[in-house]
Amino acid sequence: MREFTNPPLASAPPVGGLADAVYDHALEDPLYPALGRKDEHGEWRDVTSAEFRDEVLALAKGLLAQGIRFGDRVAIMSRTRYEWTLFDYALWSIGAQVVPIYPTSSAEQVFWTLHDSQVSAAMVEHEDHAMTIATVIDRLPMMRRLWQLDVGAVQELYEAGAHLDDEVVHRHRRAVTPESVATIIYTSGTTGRPKGCVITHGNFMFEADTAIERWEPLFHSKKGDEAATLLFLPLAHVFGRMVQVAAIRGKVKFGHQPQMSAAALLPDLAAFRPTFFLAVPYIFEKVFNAARRKAEREGKAGPFEKAVEVAVRYADAVEAKAWGIGPGPSAALRVQHQLFDKLVYSKIREAMGGRMKQAMSGGSAMDRRLGLFFAGAGVQIYEGYGLTESTAAATANPPERTRYGTVGQPFPGTTVHIADDGEVWLHGPNIFQGYLNDPKSTDAALHDGWLATGDLGSLDEDGFLTITGRKKEILVTSGGKSVSPAQLEERVRDHPLVAQCIVVGNDRPYIAALVTLDAEAVEHWLQMRGKPKLTPAELVRDPDLETEVRRAVVAANTLVSQAESIRTFRILAHQFTEEHGLLTPSLKLKRKVIEKAYTSEVEALYRA
């Protein structure tokens, strides 16, 4: 199949702007718990829809009092926290355009974003961010204001706007339409300078409203068990932003967690008790690996692996029945599943707060087996696909019939087309308006409303999309063999000891790989085998560890022909990090940068 369209839902077309939902909900249900927020003691407390409306309104008046006007661009540089959402909706209330900046950005990255978007003001989280902007401020003549959260910026703005009448804000808000620009999100980009994606209020409203209606089981609330989600994705990324917008529009209580590490995230999941969350595969891998390590420490590795196998088989049988190609789980399998639900699966759900039944995954591909395991363990994961340019998800697996290992069907109202060269093209109301100040790149990406994604994929007979790689990432060996590195890298990463894998081989005689290690998993592996703690330099030379990584490489090689297989690999002492410029903020590999940084290691892979 070369093209598939999902018909639009019967929803009313969006009107007004994103901030309207805040004011409408406060009027309809002022006591509804709109958000959760930690108090000074670290305890979660509810913020009602009326309280949030009042804070948004007070902040909006303060922004107007300090010179922000309709159409102005204001940057936000912060981790995911309550105040980000507060600023977003206050700025949208007065028709301003928000320009997110990743909190880990370098001074030059910050300069480019602020300069290219011509921002007039910025909100930063702390002094380090303020100092970063200070180093480039002399090259930013448009910048008039800088607010810092941890020195009382919110209260300062409340006081600045206290004398203004509420109606001043509402006049601005009523002027916002779906065609108004809501945000300019700079693509992190694995190559080249970031480009500013112009996204409208209408783009976000279509995306959020479609998700809420089509994936109703996620967003549905019932009395006594209200829907809730914990937002830990970066709000500078379009996926995190879409979660925020959908939660506000769908009246789903949500809280903020600024760290994606398992050590910080798991306690907050247990305390906040979300009914669902939206995450990248990395998070689900972390939860799974933490459960596996716990079982090994308790001497229950065997039963845990059996539980995994049962969960995968059970979900696989359920999937087959849904598609009419199988009878469903057998009686014996149902009994085994019920037993392991008490012994294993319930504990995994408890680690995620105890109320988790569903989740959405995006950002990168999820291993089919991992998705089946979570479904068998009682947490249905709907995998999807999208880009900043498509306002987050453009496809996702539907609730009634999931096809694991694919990224699902097009969102209702959108179309996926596979071009002659295998590139995925998208069309629909969620497609962005173009790149700011960059007509050449806009013309290259948009063709009569169609977005050329740069990703390669295929559609099956039911319109389910499978992503197979990126056009720019295809490696061509000196023998002329074209190799897509993604599936090899993902399979190597399936091994619990492996953190990252990058496949190399462009213009080389064969394919090779650089592999980094998961520090927590390696520490646990050493303890379980009674080995002494090793330095990173010692680890990469440990023969037992090399044997484990070799197993991962052999498993990956079963997916491809001999000419496409990984012939040799090298274990690196340290992970690729965003701080060292080797990953994008969405954790994608910067291939050319990594290969340049590790030139000597790559060269060593090809020495006779």
Question: Could you tell me the CATH number of the domain that includes residue 168?
Answer: 3.40.50.12780
Q: Dump pLDDT digits (tens) for 328-338.
A: 999 999 999 99
The reply to whether 387 falls in a domain is: no
The reply to whether 221 falls in a domain is: no
Q: What is the pLDDT of residue 413?
A: 96
Gap between the terminal Cα atoms of the chain? 45
The reply to whether 238 falls in a domain is: no
The reply to whether 50 falls in a domain is: yes
Q: How many structural domains are present in the chain?
A: 2
Residues of the chain with pLDDT under 70: 188-192, 222, 224, 608
Query: Coil, strand or helix: which one is 126?
Result: coil
Q: What is the pLDDT of residue 189?
A: 56
Q: What is the chain's alpha carbon radius of gyration, rounded to the nearest angstrom?
A: 24
Q: Are 253 and 227 in contact (CB under 8 A)?
A: yes
Q: Are 569 and 553 in contact (CB under 8 A)?
A: yes
**DSSP category for residue 532:** P
The reply to whether 47 falls in a domain is: yes
Q: What is the pLDDT of residue 112?
A: 95
Q: What's the pTM value of the predicted model, to 2 decimals?
A: 0.90
Residue with tokens 């892979």: 605
Of 493, 476, 498, 502, give the one whose Cα is nearest residue 564.
Answer: 476
> Which residue intervals of 465-597 are DSSP H helices?
485-493, 519-528, 536-539, 543-557, 591-597
Q: What is the pLDDT of residue 220?
A: 81
The reply to whether 348 falls in a domain is: no
Query: Coil, strand or helix: which one is 416?
Result: strand
Q: Which two tokens stand for residue 597?
A: 């940084």
Among 176, 207, 238, the domain boundary falls at 176
Domain region containing 39:
18-176
Among 155, 176, 197, the domain boundary falls at 176
Among 176, 198, 224, the domain boundary falls at 176
> Which residue intervals of 144-185 are DSSP H helices?
153-161, 166-174
The reply to whether 520 falls in a domain is: yes
CATH number of the domain bearing residue 592: 3.30.300.30
The reply to whether 595 falls in a domain is: yes
Q: What is the pLDDT of residue 192?
A: 64
